[in-house]
Amino acid sequence: MAGATLQAFDLYAATCPVLRRAERYAIFDMLLGRPAALRPGERWLLEGVSLRVAPGERVGILATSGAEALALGQLLAGVRLPARGRVEASGPVRLFCAPGKGFKSLLSADENLDLALALHGVSPKELAARRAEALALAGLEGRGRSQLHDLGREAARRLGLAALLAAPGELLVLCDLRLPKGDSWRAAFARRLDAASAVVVTTRPDELFFSAQRHFLLHCGRLFPSPDSEAACARWGELLAEACGPGGDAPLAFDEDEDEDEDEDRGEESSTAGGRAGSAGALVGHPRVDGRPTHHREASLLCGDGQRLQVELDYRPRRPARLRELCLRLNPDGVRTPVALARLEGSALLPGGNEEARLLRPDEPVCLAFEFVVPPLARGRFEVCADLFFHDGTRQTLELFALGPRNAAPPGGCLRLVARALSPSSAEAEESA
């Protein structure tokens, strides 16, 4: 039988919401080793997670929080050290997380694929064949020499997924895959999983389409077995709808994207790798562009210079938090400097609010409205991001939507993007309707 064995015994992972303290703890851990108990300011991100993946077995884990999903993936692959417990595997564990992340837009598709495949264990002899295979899977045959910048961000994600499908490995841990729509991808993905032992940790119920032998629900750091994927999805929906008590973590559909920039010269980025929670919340649900529901990560607006754009978004914090400032910025491509679009702070953030009223609660989403003029854009796509600064010093970045190339304004002038807090099931129902 294909695949290898992976076993996790009573895993505990801790996180510290205050970054400064967390960094200090991490330095101590490097020098002295991590204590098994929680330290002041820490909380458990995962508690007592035990799992066994037999050869050829596929396990699906539906998580209610992106941070927990990533932490579990990292623990199983040995990228992160557990506070307690241990992981044992009969072969190297390949972690695939957020495909396309780490790809460089300045390099060609071939160059990016070469690295991705080499990092996932493809030998030099096989590299050319696997590269061609991956390019074909991504639908980019004959465009291997094109710069990724010209192919677009979606192509980078497809290439990342294609690299996963083309790479070897008998023991896979997959997180946050975000498969493109289409049966061909799902079929290829299912075929790949059939040839290995795999753990798929996801925050999206639609990614549990493959035939997993066992299903689990990961909620509030604990792993709950579930009889099948339908039961797991149903329970996941219930948990998502429930509001958490004060101080607890609200179950969220989607966590924020991390800052993807790796350029060492940009000092302002603050990427998190699944450990920091802080006051961070999320933009829950699906936005609408011109009344049409769409996933907020895929919403793309074609805008011309000087066009006026209105944005409304519902923000729901993960736990009670005081929002200090909210900035909207245009993020070109990680090389050029971001352009500030709009900024709200103080009473402008929550009109008429006193100090007490500025406390945002998980059960009271706040509607934030922006209006700005689209600045002159160079070629390429631009991400519009919202930076939320909290009173406790933490920051969260939300990717809202993408702006298309210049002079491609659609008829009708003013666009309106509204992000409402819909439950995923109702949004999907609307989409299908």
Partner 1 sequence: MIPSPPLREIVHAGWRLFVRELRLRYRRAFFGVLWSVLPLVVAAAAYLSVAPRPESSGERGAVPTVLDVLVGLVLVQAFVDGLNYPQQLARRLRTLLAHSSFPRESLLVAGAGFVGFNLLVRAAVTAAALGLGAEPLAATAPLALGGALLLGGLGLCVGAFLAAPALLLWDVRFGLPYVTGLLYLVTPVFYRPGEEGLLAWANALNPLTHVLEASRALVWGAPISWLPLLSVLCLSFFLALLTPRALRRALCCALPYA
Chain residues in the site for partner 1 (CB under 8 A): 15, 19, 22-23, 26-27, 29-30, 34, 71, 74, 77-81, 86-98, 101-102, 104, 106-107, 111-112, 114-115, 118-121, 123-124, 173, 175, 258, 260, 262-264, 271-276
Nearer to partner 1 by C-beta: 90 or 426?
90
Q: Report the nearest approach of partner 1 to the CB of residue 299 (Å).
A: 23
Tell the smallest beta-carbon distance from residue 124 to partner 1 (Å): 6
Q: What angle do CA 37, 39, 42 make, to 5 degrees?
A: 105
By C-beta, is 114 or 399 nearer to partner 1? Answer: 114
**In the complex with partner 1, which residue's Cβ is closer, 267 or 411?**
267
Q: How far apart are the C-alpha atoms of 118 and 112, rounded to whole Å?
A: 10
Nearer to partner 1, 107 or 366 (CB): 107
Q: Choose among 217, 216, 221, 236: nearest CA to 58.
A: 216
Gyration radius of the chain's alpha carbons: 22
For partner 1, give the closer residue by CB, 91 or 225. 91
Q: Please give the Cα distance from 145 to 111 (Å, whole number).
A: 8
Q: How far is the CB of 179 from partner 1 (least distance, A)?
A: 16
Could you give the CA distance from residue 384 to residue 257 in angstroms, rounded to a whole number? 12
Strand order in the sheet with 287-289: 292-293, 287-289, 415-419, 308-315, 366-373
Q: How far is the CB of 109 from partner 1 (least distance, A)?
A: 13
Instruction: Report the residue number, 95 or 326, with the smaller CB distance to partner 1.
Output: 95
Q: Which is nearest to 272 in space by CA: 294, 253, 256, 283?
A: 256
Pairing of strands 43-53, 6-15: antiparallel
CB of 66 to partner 1, least distance (A): 12
In the bound state with partner 1, the residue whose beta carbon lies nearer, of 60 and 169, is 169
Measured from the CB atom, the residue of 31 and 414 that comes closer to partner 1 is 31
Structure tokens that stand for 96 in this block: 């695939």
Cα 374 from chain centroid (whole Å): 27
Question: Least distance (Å) from partner 1 to the CB of residue 108?
Answer: 9
Of 62, 40, 339, residue with least CA distance to 176: 62
Give me the phi and psi of 369, to 5 degrees please.
-115, 140
Give the Cα separation of 110 and 170 in Å (integer).
24
Strand (E) or helix (H) holding 270: none
Q: Is 205 helix (H, G, I), strand (E, B) or coil?
A: helix
Q: Nearest distance from residue 244's CB to partner 1, in Å?
A: 23
